[in-house]
Amino acid sequence: MNYKLLKIVFLLSILELIFCYTNDDVNGGIKLKDDPALHPGHLKPLGAFQPRTEIETLTEFPKPLDYYVNYIKPGRPFLVKKGAVNQGAYKLWTDEYMKSFPEAATEQVAVEPNLKEIREAKGFEIPFKDFVERYHKEKIYMVNKVPSFLQKDVLMPPPLRCNNTRKLMLDHVTWMSTGGTKSVLHNDDLDNINCLFRGSKELLFINPNKYEGKVPIDRPQGGYSSLDVDKVNFTKFPALREVEYIHCKMEEGDCLFIPWRWYHQVNSVANEDNQNIAVNIWFNHDADHIPEDCELPEEEATLDKFHFAGMESIYGGAGEEQTDSQVPLLDLFEMTLNKTKHNRASFKTFVSILTKVPGIFAEESLADVTLTKDFVLLSKELYDKLNVVESAFVDKADFDQIELDATSEIYETWLQAHMNKMQDIIKDQLTDEHIDDAEITESISETIETTDNASEVPPSAVPPKAETGKSVDENKEDQETDKKIEL
């Protein structure tokens, strides 16, 4: 056999290796039609024996506008190496330093009892100083706001230091342990920047735009999966075999951007002082936000200089921190729409928002409460009132038009009176009865048909409506893709 023939045989072998691998091959020749238990990653840790790429790594934070346009809007995670080494928390946070403050003996913090996250497990509260003295001896970790006396040590990440971005800030959380903690596979309805001050972390990400139907978020109320991250059962969750991961290794002083709705799982490792400490900033997802007035000096950029609305504000909680708004109900609906899949709501989705989001009419979800015809009719009137642009959906354009027309206070007054009527109906409906989807759909369909033919809202009560710019095809596509609210 001559040299040319050997070369041809070699090239053919390479081509065979390349082209014989098809989408049906998930690993080592095992195909999707084969028994899932044959996959080499079956009953192994999450992501084992599956394709992965490394996260995009930067040497500094992007500028605010670049961050929103090129990372927030498309959903693009990144790691900033040494992005937090200039912070007081990185330089100062030893156990002795943190418990030296007098407030440490009295300020209560929330503590979790298991290093491996079990969301059904009940935590407890103890003084911060007690936690610091116990966490090296017991299998506990802290998940709590940054203690008030330590907030001056943590800087707001540079892309968020803009005056008009302040309104998006929701919460800050300290994660403190001796390492060995493992989160569930989950996603968040928020954008998140996490900075690591002690220890290291390994994360796996899954892109929701590519793999949404293949990730088993079977606890939708909490946004997480029941799968065991140490022993993934492909027999129970076979679609997970098709997923590709993005891998991230965080080290002390690094910061990480976790985009809205991206699935992720986190493992934490302690440093030589047996510490793992991170702080994350949660903020509302607004893909169209244009940051302005971003020249905030570092001394004015510590957490104690910022207002955080609190996680309860996502669901309309009536905490003291929301009293700044002059139009809280309008703000509530606009914020809640930002939590839907497409940042808008058809009437069916709107009813889901009213009934499934805790805090609008009751402290808990009303998904299992019977919807009366009167309630659905009032819901339709409310929906029509907010649908200022008169498109197929209530969306940001409607709230922008209300603001442009300078009618916010008029709408707020109407909303308060109208929602009081709805509240009275709900009070009478808080029973143990259940209603199935068919009954809800029938009631909503009847209401749409009735109100389309004879609206009970006097025309004079509704400000003039602008023309919609949506085409028929766009509306049809939106209706097909916006059936499920994602909160």
**In the predicted model, what is the mean pLDDT of residues 333-342?**
72
Structure tokens at 229: 């991250």
In a domain, 320, yes or no: yes
Using CA atoms, how far apart are residues 79 and 254, in angstroms rounded to an integer?
A: 7
Q: In the structure, what pLDDT confidence band is assigned to residue 361 with cuts at 50, 70 and 90? A: low
Is the separation of the CB atoms in 147 and 129 below 8 Å?
no
Q: Which residues of 67-85 are buried (b: 16+ CB within 10 A; e: fewer)?
A: bbbebbeebebbbbeebbe
| Bridge partners of residue 112, in order along the sequence | 141
Q: Are residues 131 and 208 in the same domain?
A: yes
* Furthest-apart CA atoms within the chain: distance in Å: 93
pLDDT attached to residue 97: 97
Q: Are residues 345 and 275 in the same domain?
A: no
Who wins on pLDDT, 460 or 42?
A: 42
In a domain, 395, yes or no: yes
In a domain, 43, yes or no: no
Who wins on pLDDT, 358 or 217?
A: 217
What is the SS3 assignment for 104?
helix
Q: Which domain holds residue 296?
A: 52-308
Q: In the structure, what pLDDT confidence band is assigned to residue 26 with cuts at 50, 70 and 90? A: low
Q: Are residues 8 and 108 in the same domain?
A: no
pLDDT attached to residue 419: 81
Q: What distances in angstroms separate CA 11 from CA 3, 5, 16, 21, one per listed residue?
A: 12, 10, 9, 16
Q: Mind listing the pLDDT tens digit for each residue in 151-210?
A: 999 999 999 999 999 999 999 999 999 999 899 999 988 999 999 999 999 999 999 999
pLDDT attached to residue 221: 66
Helix axes 373-386, 437-453, angle to 10 degrees: 60
Q: 148, 146, 156, 145: which is closest to 83 by C-alpha?
A: 156
Using CA atoms, how far apart are residues 83 and 154, in angstroms rounded to an integer?
A: 12
pLDDT attached to residue 470: 40
Q: Are residues 14 and 157 in the same domain?
A: no
pLDDT attached to residue 425: 79
Does the pLDDT of residue 321 top 50, yes or no?
Answer: no
Does the pLDDT of residue 349 top 90, yes or no?
Answer: no
Q: Are residues 324 and 294 in the same domain?
A: no
The sign of the dihedral angle between the CA atoms of 213, 215, 219, 222 is negative
Least confident window among 258-267, 300-309, 344-353, 363-372: 363-372
In a domain, 447, yes or no: yes
In a domain, 37, yes or no: no
Of 287, 308, 329, the domain-final residue: 308
Q: Are residues 175 and 245 in the same domain?
A: yes
Q: Are residues 324 and 189 in the same domain?
A: no
In a domain, 41, yes or no: no
pLDDT attached to residue 478: 44
Q: Are residues 377 and 442 in the same domain?
A: yes
In a domain, 402, yes or no: yes
What is the SS3 assignment for 80?
strand
Q: Are residues 97 and 26 in the same domain?
A: no
Using CA atoms, how far apart are residues 121 and 119, in angstroms rounded to an integer?
A: 5
Q: Are residues 277 and 366 in the same domain?
A: no
Instruction: Find the CATH number of the domain harbouring 105.
Output: 2.60.120.650
Using CA atoms, how far apart are residues 86 and 155, in angstroms rounded to an integer?
A: 9
Of 253, 274, 308, the domain-final residue: 308
Q: Are residues 295 and 319 in the same domain?
A: no
Does the pLDDT of residue 104 top 90, yes or no?
Answer: yes
Is the separation of the CB atoms in 448 and 373 below 8 Å?
no
Q: Mind listing the pLDDT tens digit for each residue in 290-299?
A: 999 998 899 9
Least confident window among 67-71, 250-254, 352-356: 352-356
pLDDT attached to residue 80: 98
Q: Are residues 92 and 195 in the same domain?
A: yes
Of 285, 308, 331, the domain-final residue: 308
pLDDT attached to residue 463: 38
Q: Mind listing the pLDDT tens digit for each residue in 86-96?
A: 999 999 999 99
Q: Percent of the chain having pLDDT more than 90?
A: 46
The number of folded domains in the chain is 3
Who wins on pLDDT, 74 or 342?
A: 74
Q: Mind listing the pLDDT tens digit for each residue in 400-416?
A: 888 888 788 888 888 87
Kindly write down the DSSP assignment for every residue of 418-485, as one continuous string: HHHHHHHHHHHH-SS----HHHHHHHHHHHHHHHHHS-SS-GGGS---PPP---HHHHHHHHHH-SS-
pLDDT attached to residue 482: 40
- pTM > 0.75: no
In a domain, 45, yes or no: no
